[in-house]
Amino acid sequence: MAHIKRMLAVLLALITFTIIALPAQREKGKPAERSWVETTLGSLTLDEKIGQLIIPAVVGMFLGQDSETFQQIRRDITEYHVGGYHMLGEVNILHEPAGVALLLNHMQKISKLPLWITADFEGGAGLRYIGATRLPRAMAMGATANEEMAHRAGQITAVEARAIGIHVNFYPVVDVNNNARNPIINIRSFGGSPQMVSRMARAYIRGAQSSGVIATAKHFPGHGDTSTDSHLELPSIDVDRARLDQIELPPFRAAVEEGVGAVMTAHIALPRIETEKLPATLSQKVLTGVLRGDLGFGGIIFTDAMNMQGVAAHYPEGEAAVRAIKAGADIVLYPPSVEKAFNALKQAVQSGDIPQSRIDESVRRVLEAKARLGLDKNRFTDIEKLDQVLGNKAHQAGARQIIENAITLVRDKNRVLPLKLAPEQKVLFISMVDNSEGWRDGQPGRAFLEGLTARNIRTTSVYVSNKTSPAEFDLIKKLAALADVVIVNGFIRVSSFKGSIDMTEGEIDLLKHFSARQKPFVFVLFGSPYLISFVPELPTYILAYEYYPAAEEASLKAVLGEIEFKGKLPVELPGFYEIGHSAK
């Protein structure tokens, strides 16, 4: 009965705060919406039309109206007529959502047309803002093998996004992660099976768009089989169209069939598809030919951020914007210079390089999307309701259920789980991170350690990182000799501009040392799941896929037998385990 009540509470909360459900992208809206779109389009100058195709970015935070940053926003809106803004996060800081909502309301007041606001809420609104619900990224959802989890994540994220004033979520990632060395997609993907990624993506899109946010399938035509980060360089996927149809494109087809409102492009080269070696973002063959033509997508095409080196290192700013629109994109996202992108697009229209009809086509799509979001009627957010919506108990319960269902027992060779510790037994707990800097979600390992001490388990804790010296590693080995059990939490982040998903040689050596001992050794990996290829002898291998406190809490419960291991591998661990594996 208690379980039923909890489920009802979750559903009630979601229904209570749901915004009007969005129609499928292929539908053209109600007569009043169509009238607003056509009337507005007919009233716009060329400058105003071009501005609708540009979305700059700013860190989503409180800004004083006389601050330099806010004055730049004002210029972008009044001089360049930008259609919206993208809310960035910071590497290791969460901001207050009320300050963001206040900023967005001020921005809306300045703009002649309603702005649409975008964000990358891949881990829920709590990935960016204090007090909002932090959700696991896609691979953890894939590990649950439960579409309802993805659907619920989409709902929760959308409701909280709209409460803040954000209308477009650049999610879900529908890339199929079939490259274990992928440093940028990895846990952001639902997994390595096109069929499973398609199912989970459909569910997430339904949840998000039924709750008033435009979902975005990314990164077209697929960024999962790369070993380089397009933030740093231009990756290349050297496959033919038959392979794309088999692996990369099915999730995008599924998203289009589901009515996804937007698709984001990838800054990747496809030399067998686009012989000019253009990034997909700038390729008419890829965007107009494949996405618009073959897949029949009629919604908004966003470029990925145009300041990324996959494009920016190869094309001047203005030229890149022009090429993207000519290729079929509707929105130039986060150009390094709004002024240069605007002027280049205007000159291209005036010279006839881009037909006026091509601009009108994209502006119409933008206005239709804004009307579907209800922005033609109300562009403002009610700050007074934030504390009713963000991080409420029902949302937190839904998020906790997802991560607890994701924890995966990959291997328990010596059958040490669940750990049953006598009061006199000593635990050496080690928090091991790939890089000591830039952690947004608190100190790695703290929640796990606090859980151990709260259960009166005798624990000595150690922190190791890329800055740990050889002498310190030797000391840790001596400490381990005094312990009855060693538990290591490994943290491998997947983030832009990082470029790698590896532990240091010293950390790998330490794991090998513990694996050779006879005493119980439990390794829990948070983040990229592929470390076993470097330490194949690990006796106990647990995957959480995420790295935030709730993932640590759920993992500890599973290690101690307080909850079951329910997750299944959503990706192949090459040479070791297939998709769907579980040692449970």
Q: 310-356, pLDDT tens digit by residue? A: 898 899 989 999 999 999 999 999 999 999 999 999 999 999 999 99
Distance between CA atoms of residues 24 and 559, nearest Å: 43
Confidence of residue 14 (pLDDT cuts 50, 70, 90): very low
Angle at which helix 147-164 crosses helix 97-110, to 10 degrees, equals 60
For residue 287, give the nearest of 267, 317, 316, 272 by alpha carbon.
267
Q: Is 2 exposed, middle or buried (0-12, 13-18, 19+ CB in 10 A)?
A: exposed
- Asked whether residue 16 carries a pLDDT value surpassing 50, the answer given is no
The pLDDT value recorded for residue 188 is: 94
The pLDDT value recorded for residue 2 is: 46
Confidence of residue 441 (pLDDT cuts 50, 70, 90): low
- Asked whether residue 297 carries a pLDDT value surpassing 70, the answer given is yes
What Cα–Cα distance (Å) separates residue 2 from each residue in 5, 7, 428?
5, 9, 37
The pLDDT value recorded for residue 558 is: 99
- Asked whether residue 9 carries a pLDDT value surpassing 60, the answer given is no
Cα-to-chain-centroid distance, residue 410 = 25
For 127-176, write each residue's pLDDT tens digit.
Answer: 999 999 999 999 999 999 999 999 999 999 999 999 999 999 999 999 99
What Cα–Cα distance (Å) separates residue 198 from each residue in 127, 252, 405?
24, 8, 20
| CATH number belonging to the domain at 407-559, selected among 3.40.50.1580, 3.40.50.2000, 3.40.50.1700, 3.40.640.10 | 3.40.50.1700
Hey, where are the domains in the chain? 2-389, 407-559
Of the two residues 46 and 435, the one the predictor is more confident about is 46
Which one is catalytic: 81, 219, 231, 267?
A: 231
Of the two residues 441 and 156, the one the predictor is more confident about is 156
The overall pTM is greater than 0.75:
yes
Q: CATH homologous superfamily for 2-389?
A: Glycoside hydrolase, family 3, N-terminal domain (3.20.20.300)
Is residue 360 annotated as part of the catalytic site, yes or no? no
The pLDDT value recorded for residue 27 is: 54
Determine the number of helices (DSSP H) and then strands (DSSP E) in the chain: 21, 15
- Asked whether residue 105 carries a pLDDT value surpassing 80, the answer given is yes
Distance between CA atoms of residues 231 and 233, nearest Å: 6
Do the domains 407-559 and 2-389 match in fold?
no
Residue range 428-442: mean pLDDT, rounded: 73
Is residue 304 annotated as part of the catalytic site, yes or no? yes
Share of the chain above pLDDT 70, in %: 91
What Cα–Cα distance (Å) separates residue 179 from each residue in 182, 201, 223, 280, 471?
5, 19, 10, 19, 35
Residue range 511-520: mean pLDDT, rounded: 95
* Contact predicate 135/149, CB 8 Å: no
The pLDDT value recorded for residue 1 is: 44
The pLDDT value recorded for residue 23 is: 58
Confidence of residue 232 (pLDDT cuts 50, 70, 90): low
Residue range 370-376: mean pLDDT, rounded: 98
Which one is catalytic: 304, 330, 376, 441?
A: 304
